[in-house]
Amino acid sequence: MDIKVSRLVIAGLAGDSGKTLVTLSLLAALRKKALSISVFKKGPDYIDAAWLSFVSGSLCRNLDTYLTDPTEVLNAFVANAKDSEIAIVEGNRGLFDGKDIYGTHSTGQLAKLLKASIVLVVNCTKATRTIAAIVKGCQAFDPYLTIAGVVLNNVAGKRHQKIITDTIEKFCNIPVLGAIPKLGKDADLIPGRHLGLTPPTEFFSAPELTKKLEEIAENYLEIDKLLLLAKNDNSLTAPETSPPSKESSVRIGYFRDSVFTFYYPENLEALQNEGADLIPISSLEDKKLPDIDALYIGGGFPETFAGQLAENRELMNSVKTSAIDGLPIYAECGGLIYLCKSIKWKNNRYEMAGLFPVELVMNKKPVGHGYSEMEIDTENPFFAIGEIINGHEFHYSGITDDSIEFETAAEMNTGTGLGNKRDGLIYKNSMACYTHIHAGGNKSWAGSMIKTALAYHKKRGNPTGNFSLTHGRNTIAA
């Protein structure tokens, strides 16, 4: 399959440079123009991806060459961009920031893989001509990148904007495609918290936000010029794919509400492709688990909802009882917190489901942050011994008492996990990790979930009778 789709990568010099503001404003403008958009986030990120989905109206996909093989990343981009008029990719961190001194897995490397032009967002606070020198340095640092233009952020006024614009266009020979002033009280359009921005599921000013983003784009971005720069004659090739043909054979529940939102779409789709019917469950409102053959609990913010979660003791008891009975459960980060004994936050202790005898505490600084790698060394329901799992972690919570004995499944080759270089709490058919995984890079995971769910389904005698559900009838929400 060969495609030629208009595409842009929005990159920055560092985190907090204004990439997300520019990307969201651009997406709001493109949506207002009624263009069909495909949207992507570079790197391991759930919250920014959720906002990109929310503003664009399209399901955002993550592109990460550490979590997923570069060929798979390219295939995913082509498959999800081929029917759109324009594809927008938001980078992460600085343009050249990767896992090593060569920028492996950086936004720049991704842009080259996608043969995409780059728009560089630059924070101009307390600088003028030096901005052009920085841009010139980026051009020279990797001449194989196509830095097609620049958007200035935090511009102090017209004079400030003019000297930076004139200097960049003269010495860097690329256009300035927008200049966003210091926005004052509107600078933080979306409030933040300890893991980044507040997710869309907890934000209640959507119409006002969309209007502000459209105004920023209209007043400060050169939308028509950005659209012209996005046009791309370089074709991308990916293999033809056929839709999954398996009918649903098991029912897999997953927590899906304002608490648990951290799911890569590909993880849920992989379960469906392997034959699962996905059953959304509210951790706040449902009082017991429905009739399911396995449970998937993703990440999120259980600490900020800890009181409400603890009040729903009926569901916690249902989860624990089902796990003791052998229900397969796979949990990541926030899901791990839910399954542990308790969580302490802001001088309060909240009882959780208590499947694992582990007490956690929220710290002021991240306990684990970044790419990780774990090696499976203990028998468990979902991974083979010896399997190497590439993942990522970002958690402020950690164990309060290292002397507590608990069984784990994996050695952390890189990263923190639970501490003491271990991750993967296990009990019967349950496994909980601080490490997040991407199904595109862990091909065996979904199949193992289905296999374990089928075994449990048969063991309990299929109390609801035989069923054959139309595959994929549950849509995966952004």
- Number of neighbours of residue 188 by Cβ within 10 angstroms: 10
Instruction: Please calculate the CA angle 1-230-264 and round it to the nearest 5 degrees.
Output: 60
* Cα dihedral across residues 29, 31, 32, 34: positive or negative: positive
pLDDT, tens digit (0-9, with 9 covering 90-100), for 29-54: 999 999 999 999 999 989 899 999 99
Phi, psi (deg, nearest 5) at residue 302: -60, -25
Indicate the DSSP class of residue 185: G
pLDDT of residue 460: 83
The size of the chain, in residues, is: 478
209 confidence band (pLDDT: 50, 70, 90): confident
Q: Which own/partner pairs from 322-325 qualify as long-range (CB within 8 Å, at least 24 positions apart)?
A: 322/289, 322/295, 323/355, 323/427, 323/428, 323/429, 323/430, 324/355, 324/428, 325/460
Decide if pLDDT at 281 tops 60. Answer: yes
The CATH H-level superfamily of 250-459 is: Class I glutamine amidotransferase (GATase) domain (3.40.50.880)
Least confident residue range of 8-12, 76-80, 115-119, 240-244: 240-244
Rg of the chain on CA atoms, in Å: 23
Spatial contact of 235 and 215, defined as CB atoms under 8 Å apart: no
Spatial contact of 418 and 434, defined as CB atoms under 8 Å apart: yes
Spatial contact of 332 and 449, defined as CB atoms under 8 Å apart: no
Mean pLDDT throughout 261-276?
95
Mean pLDDT throughout 200-221?
82
Indicate the DSSP class of residue 429: T
pLDDT of residue 256: 95
471 confidence band (pLDDT: 50, 70, 90): very low
206 vs 23, residue with greater confidence: 23
pLDDT of residue 237: 81
The CATH H-level superfamily of 2-237 is: P-loop containing nucleotide triphosphate hydrolases (3.40.50.300)
Per the listing, tokens 């920055």 go with: 12
pLDDT of residue 56: 95
* Cα dihedral across residues 213, 216, 218, 224: positive or negative: negative
Burial 189-207 (b: 16+ CB within 10 A, else e): bbeeeebbbbbbbebeeee
CA distance 327 to 462: 13
CA distance 191 to 262: 18
202 confidence band (pLDDT: 50, 70, 90): low
Decide if pLDDT at 9 tops 70. Answer: yes
In the chain, what are the domain boundaries? 2-237, 250-459
Question: Is 138 known to be catalytic?
Answer: no
Decide if pLDDT at 188 tops 90. Answer: no
pLDDT of residue 405: 78
pLDDT of residue 36: 96
Q: What is the mean pLDDT of the chain?
A: 90
Spatial contact of 425 and 261, defined as CB atoms under 8 Å apart: no
Least confident residue range of 171-185, 252-266, 371-385: 171-185
pLDDT of residue 390: 96
Mean pLDDT throughout 97-120?
95
Annotated catalytic residue, options 138, 172, 333, 433: 333
Half-sphere exposure of 303 (CA within 13 A, CB side): 23
Q: Which of 411, 344, 347, 341 minimizes the C-alpha distance to 378?
A: 411
125 confidence band (pLDDT: 50, 70, 90): very high
Three-state SS at 391: strand
pLDDT of residue 254: 98
pLDDT of residue 243: 64
Q: Which of 267, 320, 329 minimizes the C-alpha distance to 453?
A: 329
- Number of neighbours of residue 459 by Cβ within 10 angstroms: 11
Decide if pLDDT at 196 tops 90. Answer: no
Helices then strands (H, E): number in the chain? Answer: 13, 26
Instruction: Please calculate the CA angle 93-64-244 and round it to the nearest 5 degrees.
Output: 150
pLDDT of residue 15: 87
pLDDT of residue 363: 92
Decide if pLDDT at 465 tops 50. Answer: no
pLDDT of residue 222: 97
Strand partners, 327: none
CA distance 27 to 269: 25
pLDDT, tens digit (0-9, with 9 covering 90-100), for 70-95: 999 999 999 999 999 999 999 999 99
